[in-house]
Structure 1
Amino acid sequence: MKKIALAIVLICIGMGVANAQSSQKAKSLLDEVYNKVKSYNNIYIDFKYELDNKAEGIHQETKGNVTLDGDKYVFNYLGATKIFDGSKIYTIIPDNEEVTIESKNAEDEGTITPSKMLTFYKDGYNYAWKESKTIKGRSIQLIELTPISSSAEVKSLLLGIDTQTKHIYNLVENGANGTSTTITVMNMKTNQTLPKGTFAFDRDKYQKQGYYIID
């Protein structure tokens, strides 16, 4: 009996060491990704967004793009444009001929916003090293992120990282309700020469077009 108990203890210790090594290995790779992303002056991304719920028979796909420069961004998705100039968020909806202007605090700190979509994983998650896959000739390392908060709506996240470029390839979010969403980076450009006023909102332009502006 004592031998069995000792064996169980040794197995548990071994698992603890393995988990710690897995976590540290994952964190080291994520740190490389973070430092690579932060080294760029700006980033442009074309992405594909997929939503799946097998139980409900739901599958949806759409595309979008985002230009990032520090915290500033221009985000085009589902026919709308969202601009953050560093202090205010402008949501432009052409179908409704409407613009909504909000303060920076309007974005929930707990959500993955456009300005945080490549660095959100730095805080609030436990990491685990998973398998690697070859996708279209690229070596993609998977890292599982589990929210530290027990009240998080997200069950887990699976981050795919290109081991050669140290860029994020995709992100799979598994919700507690059985819905999974996948964001895949289709194209990425860095350090582009951006036109002047890329992150500026032209109020006069939209007023002349008859847009209703909610300030």
Structure 2
Amino acid sequence: MKKLFILSILTLLTASYTFAQKDAEAKVILNKVSEKYKTYDAVKTDFDFTLDNQQAGVKETQSGTLIARSKANKFRVTIYDAAGKAAVAQEIISDGKTQWTYLKKDNEVQVNNVDISGEGLNPAQVFTIYEHGYKYIYNGDKKIGGKVYQEIDLTPEDIKKSFFKVRLMIDKVKKQIYSALIFDKNGNRYTYTLKSLVPNPPIADNTFSFDPKAHKGVEVVDLR
């Protein structure tokens, strides 16, 4: 379940969506969001991720951190144990060429080439995913906890996708994505909520690479 959990996060961050007709007002809103993020060299965000399937009686929540340098297609996704940030459960790291998936419980890291086909999972593009292959519709403003959010629904152009809709909530004042609710065909609901966002954070040289020497006894599974 843990492994599926982080894969679900990546799917959530990078899936492509579309409606039968593009909504001009939604496009204006989304353009403002992506234009803002494109001014940053890098971003760091803390998030909560919830998997909910009422029929199966499953509801799990974990927290994580994403550091991304979108222009270079580099990212690091860290998922924490329920105990908190002190305990890292899983990580997915990419330097734009190589991707490492580290599972702490198994003390294993899987190494793959980055998928450049456009079909792969790329959290570095999380804030601009709507730009290619989507259509969208603006549902109006929603007030949550005293703040106003703009609600936009997206659905997949490719009907073979496992997801049939994603609902974005965008902070109307900050022009930032606040949350995304993903609906898949198996009854799962994935909610990704940004808790904070830091533009242009200081980034260490080794942020976007995995060092086996720093993980004693780790099994390296090279799938390239």
**Short-chain TM bin:** 0.7 to 0.9
Aligned length in residues: 194
Show structure 1 runs of 5+ residues with no match: 1-18
Query: Does 1:129 pair with 2:138?
Result: yes
8 Å CA contact retained: 1:154, 1:173: yes
What is aligned with 1:190? Answer: 199
Question: Distance between the aligned counterparts of 2:100 and 2:113, measured in 1?
Answer: 9
Q: Which runs of 4+ in 1 moved over 4 A?
A: 19-22
TM-score (norm 2): 0.79
Structure 1 residues 22 and 93, CA gap change in structure 2 (3 angstroms): closer
2:196 counterpart SS class: strand
Q: Which runs of 5+ in 2 are unaligned?
A: 1-18, 81-88
Q: Which has the higher contact order (CA 8 A, sep 6+)?
A: 2
Give the C-alpha shift of residue 112 in structure 1.
4.8
Q: Which of 149, 156, 160 is residue 158 of structure 2 equivalent to?
A: 149
Deviations 1:4-48 (A, max 9, x none): xxxxxxxxxxxxxxx999700001111111111111111111111
More helix by share: 1
- Please, which moves more after superposition, 109-118 or 145-154? 109-118
User: Contact 2:43–2:67 at 8 Å: present in 1 too?
Assistant: yes
| Counterparts in 2 of 1:28 and 1:110: CA distance versus 1, 3 Å | same
- The percent identity for this pair of structures is 28
Write out aligned runs for 1:1-215 (5 A): 23-70=23-70, 71-77=73-79, 79-105=89-115, 109-110=118-119, 112-206=121-215, 209-215=216-222
Give the aligned CA root-mean-square deviation in angstroms: 2.2
Instruction: Output the CA distance in 2 between the equivalents of 1:173 and 1:110.
Output: 18
Amino acid in structure 2 at the alignment position of 1:33: V
Structure 2 CA distance for partners of 1:99 and 1:155, relative to 1, 3 Å:
same
Question: Counterparts of 2:188 and 2:107 in 1: how far apart (Å)?
Answer: 32
TM-aligned CA deviation for residue 196 of structure 1? 2.5
